Amino acid sequence: MHFLDQAKIFVRSGAGGPGAVSFRREKYIEYGGPDGGNGGKGGDVIFEAVHGLNTLIDFRYTQHFRAPRGKGGAGSNRTGAGGDDLVIKVPVGTQILADDEERSLLADLTKEGEKIVFLRGGDGGRGNASYKTSTNRTPRQHQKGWPGEEMYVWLRLKLLADVGLVGLPNAGKSTFINAVSNADAKVGAYAFTTLRPQLGVVSHRQREFVVADIPGLIEGAADGAGIGDRFLGHIERTKVLLHLVDCQDEDVATSYRIVRDELEAYGADLTDKPVVVALNKVDTIDAELVAALSAELEAESGRPVFALSSPSRQGLDAVLDALLERVDDSSDPQADDDEDAPAKAWSPL
Ligand SMILES: Nc1nc2c(ncn2[C@@H]2O[C@H](COP(=O)(O)OP(=O)(O)OP(=O)(O)O)[C@@H](O)[C@H]2O)c(=O)[nH]1
Ligand SMILES: [Mg+2]
């Protein structure tokens, strides 16, 4: 399952600096020769694919990238300083697309450390010293620097979520992803607040993994009830599920079972995935009830149950530890290879 992460940015390389007009001034020499140096080259815009970035989220906040211009030339034949190159770091797998109808592919950064000069900085203009000839010993010509280049482009990245969040509507899935990741998912005290999948990058114990929040599942979801079914395709390729059960539900075992049945009915071996089960919103009940409901849920699921609350942050670290452990265990080298295999009910974002 792939999510597409994309961002539109503006890039501009630096203009070249102007060439200088200058004449030597020396004692006893009335008319010194021309000595205006050339302008410096403007900075290039370079894209570099780096390790450790997972998403294009940062590009939602910074959208304009301008390399500095070259400095002007100076007397004594001094060439202006070049503008520094602007290196834009992107995740491995980032594609750069034109901002036109076809979104034509301009560049594809597939390997770690790969660098491409995307826009070249303008050359510096010539200083008057370079115009000196045998017939014109006092040229005043010079050039302005050459302009940089600029354009809007789309960055696009196929993103693989490691963890899929499942549960009934209102179980607290979006609240959880907001509490543990950089996501800013909509939260509401009603069912189907989440209408489309949302990704968050979790940084935990110096590691990063991607969590996908999907709309809540209800009975019959696999057959199209509610809206969750449309998005089950998005958790097909996750490595691990986190199943949240609201402790305020009338019967937590039933709540759990409904969602499991839908995962089962959907097929695609969703129920074979490692799953972490958590009793959520435990800030709303006392410890005794937490223990009793956890025991019910453990009996139903046959798994250890974590007590969780996003607002009080109870259990967050323990749940993230459990997820990280299972993400590591189930590293699946094939995961990226069968992109073309038909995924059931996959819907584009
Ligand atoms: N007290 C308490 N309230 C919570 C907790 N987590 C979520 N809530 C509340 O429960 C309601 C539903 O939360 P959401 O995060 O929108 O639930 P969801 O599972 O994403 O819901 P859908 O997107 O509709 O499937 C909101 O009013 C939240 O404020 C929690 O740990 N404790
Ligand atoms: Mg939600």
pLDDT tens for residues 109-120? 988 899 999 999
pTM, two decimal places: 0.61
Helices (H) and strands (E) in the chain, counts: 5, 14
CATH homologous superfamily for the domain 160-329: P-loop containing nucleotide triphosphate hydrolases (3.40.50.300)
With a cut of 0.90, is the ipTM above it? yes
Cα–Cα dist 257/236, whole Å? 19
Cα–Cα dist 263/251, whole Å? 19
Name the average pLDDT for the chain: 86
Ligand 1 proximity of 187 Cβ (cutoff 6 Å): yes
- Phi, psi torsion values for 261, nearest 5 degrees: -60, -40
194 assigned to a ligand binding site = yes
Ranges of each domain in the chain: 3-158, 160-329
3-state secondary structure 26-37: ECCECCCCECCC
Cα–Cα dist 177/326, whole Å? 18
Cα–Cα dist 45/119, whole Å? 5
Q: What is the pLDDT of residue 338?
A: 43
Contact between 307 and 263 under an 8 Å Cβ cutoff? The reply is: no
Which residue is associated with the tokens 């280049």? 149
How far is the centre of ligand 2, averaged over its atoms, from the C-alpha of 192 (Å)?
6
CATH homologous superfamily for the domain 3-158: GTP1/OBG domain (2.70.210.12)
252 assigned to a ligand binding site = no
- Paired sense of beta strands 150-159 and 94-98, if any: antiparallel
Q: What is the pLDDT of residue 129?
A: 95
Ligand 1: atom nearest CA of 168 is 25
What residue's CA is closest to ligand 1, atom 24?
A: 192
- Paired sense of beta strands 150-159 and 105-109, if any: unpaired
Which residue is associated with the tokens 């097929």? 267
Contacts of 108 (CB under 8 A, 6+ apart): 95, 96
Which of these ranges, 147-156, 181-190, 326-335, has the smallest mean pLDDT? Answer: 326-335
Cα–Cα dist 194/170, whole Å? 9
pLDDT over 60 (residue 342): no
* Residue 225 vs residue 83, higher pLDDT: 83
Average pLDDT over residues 122-145: 94
According to DSSP, the residues that pair with 50 across neighbouring strands are: 91
